[in-house]
Amino acid sequence: MKVNRRQFLTAAAVASAGHASAEPDWEAIRRTFPRALNETYFNAAAQHPLGVHTVQAMQRYMDFLYLGPGEGREDLWETMLPKVRPGFARLINARPSEVTLCPSTTVGENLVLNGMDLAGGNVVTNDLHYSACLAGYLRRRRMGLDVRIVKHRDWRIDLRDMERAVDRKTRLIAISLVSSVNGHLEDARALSELAHAHGAYLFADIIQGAGAIPIDVRALGIDMASCGMYKWLQGEHGWAFLYLREDLIGSVVKPTQFTGRPEMNYPPWTPKPKAGQPEFIAHDPQGIADFDVGTPSVITLAAQHAALGFIERLTIPRIRAHARALTERLRKELPALGYRPITPPGTETPIVTFLCPDAEQTKEKIRRAAREGRARISITGPNSALTVGRFGNHLRFSVSVYNHQQDVDRMLEVLS
């Protein structure tokens, strides 16, 4: 994809404006996400549209691979890669030495679980955790692990129910900080204190929160976390971040995939072999690097580097305030059309979910609006513009920086 001159100038203006103290020009920001101009898009919880700035970064790297060095082209492997992990670390108040890369959020959680000694212990989670992860815990239950899944009460997790599930044999509490189901925000600080009081640890899947709400792993007491790049981090599929509290690396969580650097201590590899040393010497990575296995997708990291800079310039408080105005209006006005919210009141996340009175009828209203040219809202496929009919009758809205009040106007008209 080539970025046209107008998009380039808009992206540049937004990038520079982020440093000012004034309120951002949200309409200019919206124009840097062309998909939001082509359809009414409320599904950042599934896939955040790519911004002009991320496409430019990816294009620059592709041009380098395609054409080699030259004007405007660079090997981002060297210039960008060392900046991505520190950028994410700043976002969640971690040290760069506590952040590494892995293929996905779910892989990150599996690396934590597989690296812990869970023998004779139990893991406590709940039914608002990510569904694929819950499936993994059920599989571990079949393999003999004591897995305790707390059920929600009216679409929120009651801390007292979590307390009853935890005991002296609990090794880990695992949660989605923000639930993909309905945006429920866990009380991570309280759960961390509960875990630590029993000698356990807290893992958080933070993919539905990072880039959208303030996350401070130190203040919240989160011990381990993982996060893909393609939701509110505004990047692409293919790679994710893994956070491990520094004192837990290699002790509580051990690496289960191995890498390093071999040294051949014999001719012709070396003219002077080291006396008294074996022929093959293994140099193991240290610290978080011991979890950094494989070559990451550089094009994915190119997009993420650009997106992190964009988020830093806008700032999380501004992003959160912008989303809040939209989700609060949806919560206020959709019930009059028969949609009951199941996101707890006052939830400080960009997701709000409703129960449909009739999911098929809701889908038909959206299709009819498309046929009549009143709205373009795709509702099929994993990257649809709106999630309708999830878990049978859920209607989920997830908003981001490109949405505006006219999007809400259009949805209210379509669903009325």
What are the beta bridge partners of residue 242?
100, 226
According to the model, what pLDDT value does residue 14 have?
Answer: 53
Q: What residues contact residue 267 under an 8 Å CB cut-off, 6+ apart?
A: 273
pLDDT digits (tens, 9 = 90+) for 17-35: 445 467 899 999 999 999 9
According to the model, what pLDDT value does residue 70 have?
Answer: 85
| Residue 211, amino acid | G
According to the model, what pLDDT value does residue 146 have?
Answer: 98
pLDDT digits (tens, 9 = 90+) for 358-389: 999 999 999 999 999 999 999 998 889 999 98
* 4-37 per-residue burial string, b: 16 or more CB within 10 A, e: under 16: eeebeebbeebbebbeeeeebebeebbbbbbebe
What percent of the chain clears pLDDT 70, i.e. is strictly above it?
95
Which of 410, 411, 398, 351 lies closest to 48, judged by CA? Answer: 398
d(CA 406, CA 374): 13
pLDDT digits (tens, 9 = 90+) for 311-362: 999 999 999 999 999 999 999 999 999 999 999 999 999 999 999 999 999 9
- The pLDDT mean for the chain works out to 93
According to the model, what pLDDT value does residue 73 have?
Answer: 81
d(CA 50, CA 28): 15
Domains of the chain by range and CATH? 79-257+293-311 (3.40.640.10), 316-415 (3.90.1150.10)
What average pLDDT does the segment 258-262 reach? Answer: 94
SS3 of residue 335 by DSSP? helix
pTM of the shown model: 0.93
Residue 255 CB neighbours (<10 A):
19
Is the Cβ–Cβ distance between 17 and 23 less than 8 Å? no
Per the rule left: phi > 0, alpha: psi between -120 and 50, beta: everything else, 394 is: beta
Which of 198, 204, 236 lies closest to 217, judged by CA? Answer: 204
d(CA 377, CA 384): 8
pLDDT digits (tens, 9 = 90+) for 39-90: 999 999 999 999 999 999 999 999 999 999 888 787 878 777 789 999 999 9
According to the model, what pLDDT value does residue 182 have?
Answer: 97
